[in-house]
Amino acid sequence: MLFAFSVAPTTATGSGSVSAAVADALRVVRASGLPYELTSMFTTIEGEWDEVMPVIKAACDAVATHSPRVSLVVKADLRPGYAGQLTEKVARVEAQLADD
């Protein structure tokens, strides 16, 4: 299962950057040992519900140290029985584009 999430503080530095808070959230994701991918707007984690949800909660808790209010967006691809989809889904699309 893939879980894409975006977590950010509702307050930012004078420049508007939330990178320090996002870095703290990503430290939590890294420490989980689950496969993940960071993009400019989301972090995607691969794992089962019971593995991933505590990681997302802990990432929110890490961001909460930066702001009294936290925003969280989650999107999930729930497809039990499939692993390696963090890279396989992209590979299938790239294969479709290979003939272009």
Please tell me the pTM assigned to this model.
Answer: 0.89
Q: Are strands 2-9 and 43-46 parallel, antiparallel or unpaired?
A: antiparallel
| Of 6-15, 19-28, 66-75, the least confident | 6-15
Cβ(45)–Cβ(32) below 8 Å? yes
Domain count, the chain: 1
User: What's the average model confidence in pLDDT over 14-38?
Assistant: 94
Range of the domain at 91: 2-97
The DSSP call for residue 71 is: E
- For residue 68, give the CATH number of its domain: 3.30.70.930
| Long-range pairs, 27-35, Cβ under 8 A, ≥24 | 27/62, 28/55, 28/58, 28/59, 28/61, 28/62, 29/55, 29/59, 35/86
The answer to whether 75 and 41 are in contact (CB under 8 A) is: no
